Amino acid sequence: MIDFELTPEEEAAVKVAHKAAEELFRPISRYYDEHEHESPQELIDTLWEKRGEVGMLSLSLAAALGIEELCWGDAGLMLCNPGPSLGGAAVWASGTPEQRDRFLKRFNKGKPKWGAMAMTEAGCGSDTSAITATAVRDGDEWVLNGEKIFVTQGKRALEDSDGIVVVWATVDKSAGRAGMKSFVVEAGTPGMRVEKLEKKLGIRASDTATIIFEDCRIPYENILGSPEVRKLDKTKTAGFQKAMATFDATRPIVAAQALGVGRAALDFVKETLEKEGIEIRYGLPRNKLSALERDVMDMEAHYKAAKLLTLRAIWMLNQGQPNNLEASMAKAKTGLAVTRITQKAVELMGPLGYSRKYLLEKWMRDAKINDIFEGTGQINMLIVARRVLGYSRDQLK
């Protein structure tokens, strides 16, 4: 039976995350939206000191709910939270127990540190199997070459002496997806550098980097999982499955981020209406409701449906159950839901929503990325369709 019940300790941790969002994130949200690429160092240090309370880096229901709370405060600042992040999720999903121990334990001590995942390239966005970055074995080392774009927290991971970047590259171009492998590159490795930082529509507090790998040498044992190039069947390969396993872990987390942004906008609308003495009359037939009431209820329905899908995907992951379908369903739904909720919130609030006096317009800008990164909404819907209909990648494109 699916159980979303939290322990008293987990409930307390989620409350601490909400308090951090309210007291630490919200007051500086607008400043770091307007000062892109300026690092919120005081916040980073505070979050690192309290990481046991608000960091919640494990892939659990409490972590997902904590992330929702932090993104209710500010999604960009949440991504400044020190920790292994997407790079850690890739190690967790694709690495051996020894590799998890070696690369993730460093995030439990010392100064703030970050992980990042470098997969996207200029010539292949959604089609991750088309990556062109290469990894060539040279004795006891791998030599990486290529360019990766839109690397979340890439700059911070490289500047941190203990940071890691998980890079996806091909060890054999002729093997197609079978040649796709992931490698851990530690900060300070010669041949890895930040080329530029993106200027973005939303989540501006989070650095988004282009990273160049030029004859970048890493130890042979830094390849995650098995180095063997092998096909599993006609439609799946070992390397490609590792990439998808990573997404199965990270997509529900991104969905939780979207929930936080959507709920922030929904809360703002409901609180504003309450201040104006406007009541939402629940329990009446739709034809008895005003257009405003129907809109608010539709926003709530989208939010709640997205949240249940997200919690189910996270729960299955923690139970060791395959959640490929459920992770994609959660990601597709929340990306769509948060976009609709924030846009409708701006529309309903009129000048209040469009004004920079309030954070509502910012939440609308922050929302859209959740429908794009970790697999676009279209790609995730395609994955859902394939799983439900039993079609292969070649049969349904």
pTM: 0.92
Which domains occur in the chain, in start order? Answer: 8-81 (no CATH), 91-222 (2.40.110.10), 238-389 (1.20.140.10)
Long-range contacts of 37-44 (CB under 8 A, 24+ apart): 37/197, 37/207, 39/80, 39/156, 40/77, 40/80, 40/205, 43/77, 43/80, 44/80, 44/81, 44/82, 44/112
Q: Determine whether 49 is an active site residue.
A: no
* Per-residue tens of pLDDT for the chain, all 397 residues: 788 999 999 999 999 999 999 999 999 999 999 999 999 999 999 999 887 554 444 578 998 999 999 999 999 999 999 999 889 988 988 889 999 999 999 988 889 999 999 999 998 877 777 899 999 999 999 999 999 999 999 999 999 889 999 999 999 988 878 888 999 999 999 999 999 999 999 999 999 999 999 999 999 999 998 776 544 444 444 556 666 777 888 899 999 999 999 999 999 999 999 999 999 999 999 999 999 999 999 999 999 999 999 999 999 998 989 999 999 999 999 999 999 999 999 999 999 999 999 999 999 999 999 999 988 999 999 999 999 999 998 899 8
Q: What six digits make up the tokens of 341?
A: 């909720």
Residue 81: φ, ψ to 5°: -60, 115
Q: Could you tell me if 210 and 148 are in contact, meaning their C-beta atoms sit under 8 angstroms apart?
A: yes
- 83 has which bridge partners? 114
Among the options 121, 186, 293, 374, which is catalytic? 374
The CA-to-CA distance between both ends of the chain, in Å, stands at 34
